Structure formats: C-alpha cells, structure tokens
Chains A and B, each alone.
Chain A
Amino acid sequence: MAVLILAQITLGVMAATWRVSPAKLELFFWHKSTGMLILALVALRLLWRLANPTPALPSGMPAWERAAARSSHLLLYLLMIALPVSGWIINSAANVPFRIFWLIPLPAIVAPDKPTADLVALVHGGLFAALALVLVAHIGAALRHHFVKRNAVLIRMLPDAWRTP
C-alpha cells in the first residue's frame, strides 16, 4: 500500500507537469488506474480495521503523542479516500472515457462540467499537499519510534517470519 501510494504520487506529479503528448496521457491513465486500485484497497483495509482490534500504542507514550498518532492516522484514512474520490470526480466532470487498467469502465459520478473539473482539480492538488505533509509527519514518527525510542512500532508491521530475532 505504501509503495502504491508513493508510486501514485510520482505518477500524479509527472502526469500533471508533463507537456501535452502521448506520454502525458499514458501517465494519466496509469495514475487513474492506480488511484482506483488504491481506493478499492482502502475500502478493504477499513473493513479489516473495523473487524479486527487496532494494534495498541506502546505503553508510556505521552498523551500528546497518542493524540498526534490518532489524528494523523485518521487524516491518512480521510486522504486515502478523498484523493481517489476527487480524482474520480475530475474524470467524470471532464467527461473523459476511461477503463481502469483497460478493463473496468469507470462510471461517471458527476455530470460533465468543465468548471467543476477545474475546481475539483484544485481541491485534488490541495489534498495532495495535505497528504505530503501528513506523510512526512507519519514517516518521521515511525522512524523516531524505531531509531530514537527503540520500540517495535515499525518492525511489528512485518510478518512474524521476517523479523530477525
């Protein structure tokens, strides 16, 4: 998921800045396909999270760290949903025919309207900026747990078999 999101950010930035060319359309095609894949995976992930207990935070964490962790995780979920959904709205409003990975036709969720597409494109960019900030905090915090506080918060994401004793 993390790899997909980082690839998605790269594709999105390249697609948005590339000059108009077949390569730009190709970048957008992969950006949109990956975005819809991420949206589906986030839905699965939310179901999993609702059905299973959330891993406990390490004991002895100050209250402000707990609050920061909870709110940044909530923000990450919101952004992981809002970004693909806003992309979907742009594609619908721009009236671009599109099939996810050439296979699944993406239905329109709003009526074709150029001003809507332009406005939501700005929102999409703003959400991306927010995601970039939260990701820096999230990754920074994870590294701090591992290297500074020397606890298992980062490592415990790995399957048991991969952890070195």
Chain B
Amino acid sequence: MKEIVVLLGLCGLVLAGALNPAQGADWKMDAAGSKLEFIATFEKTAAPGVFKEFDARLRFEPEKPAGGSLDVTIKVTSADMSIADVNKEIRGKDWFDYAGFPQAEFRSTDLRRKEGNHYVARGTLSLKGVKQPVEVPFTWTGSADGATMEGELTLKRGAFGIGSGEWAASNVIGADVKVKFKVKLRKAG
C-alpha cells in the first residue's frame, strides 16, 4: 500500500515536470549517443578526429532559452585521429600538450534562439590555457525520451596555440578546424 502511494506520488511529480517545463530543465548527456568531432585539414584534405570522452551539462528550456546555461568538459587526452603516428604527435607540447592541458571547457550562460529550432550559445572556450569567446550554434530536436543538440563551428587552431612553432604555418596543416557535435540529452533528476 505504501509503495503504491509512493509510486503514485512519483508519477505525479513526473507529470508535473512534463506539464510545467518552464523552470529551465536540467539535462544530462547520454555518452553512448553523443559525438564530438574535430576536422583538421592536411594538404587541403579533411583529416578527421574525435574526442572520445567529453560531457555536457545543460540547463535549457527551448521556449525560453534565456537564463539557461551550457557546460561542456572535454578530455583532450581522449583525442583520436585514427592515424597511429599522428596520435603520438598530437600529445606533444606543439599540439594539444596532454601533460600541460589535459582538459578543455566551454561555458556559456548566454543561450539565445535565432529562429525555429536554431539557437546559439555564446560563451568561453578554454583550450590549452587560452580563453577565447566562442559562439556555438546548435539545433534542438526534442523527442519522447529526451533531446538532441547538433551543430558545427569553425575554430582557428592558431588562436589556441594548437600547432605552435614551425607548425603554425598553415600550408601543410590548415588554419581552420571544423568542430562538429551531436549530443543526446536526457532530463536530469
């Protein structure tokens, strides 16, 4: 009997949450369905890589994005460009510098709607000890069991000292790096 009451109470809470989402819901990332890619260029040919480990936390209400926040932590040392020699090189000081800066972060407390399901998160990217303002555009697709955030942006690797010294030249390894993400989210709590 007691259990049923607790169950009913829980159902009520879930229903209330579904019917009254105006609070700015908290979302947690589902790592299995999420992907964070970075696509560099090598001799003008795409050279894709991926950060295997990262996490996103989001406070977001699609109908009222103001007041929300996005917090992404990226384990830089989980980078994989699927070329053994390259994976060895990017650990070094000239590239990601795994020893000095094992983690990168993006924090935004400025989420805005552009149109329809297109949004932008303005925030700060901390990468290899450099903090830079970055705008992250994304689309939001809600579903029965959660939501998906998707987007892409282009960063200048030089702004973060990725590829320093003689590697700063962009004729062999291009200056632009495209970042693509797909984040599956579930309502937290």
Contact = CB atoms under 8 A, between A and B. Distances in A.
Nearest to B40: A97
Contact of A102 (B43, B82, B89): B43
Interface residues of B, number: 18
A25 B83 contact: no
Contacts of B45: 97-99, 102, 105
Interface in B26-70: 42-48
A146 B180 CA distance: 64
A105 B44 CA distance: 11
A86 interface: no
Assign chain A's interface to a size class: 10 to 19
Nearest to B86: A96
Nearest to A97: B45
A128 interface: no
B43 A29 contact: yes
A95 B83 contact: yes
B47 A22 contact: no
Nearest to A24: B172
Contact of B46 (A22, A97, A114): A97
Interface in B102-157: none
A98 B42 CA distance: 8
Nearest to A103: B44
B85 interface: yes
A2 B167 CA distance: 34
A96 B89 contact: no
Contact of B166 (A21, A95, A112, A114): A21
A20 interface: yes
B1 interface: no
B42 A97 contact: yes
B85 A25 contact: no
Given A95-B82, A96-B83, A112-B82, A22 B43 contact: no
Contacts of B173: 22, 25
B99 interface: no
Contacts of B82: 95, 112
Nearest to A22: B172
A98 B171 contact: no
B33 to A, nearest CB: 25
A99 B48 CA distance: 15
A26 interface: yes
B84 interface: yes
14 contacts: A21-B166, A22-B166, A22-B167, A22-B169, A22-B171, A22-B172, A29-B172, A94-B83, A94-B84, A97-B48, A98-B45, A99-B44, A112-B82, A114-B84
Interface of B: 42-48, 82-85, 89, 166-167, 169, 171-173
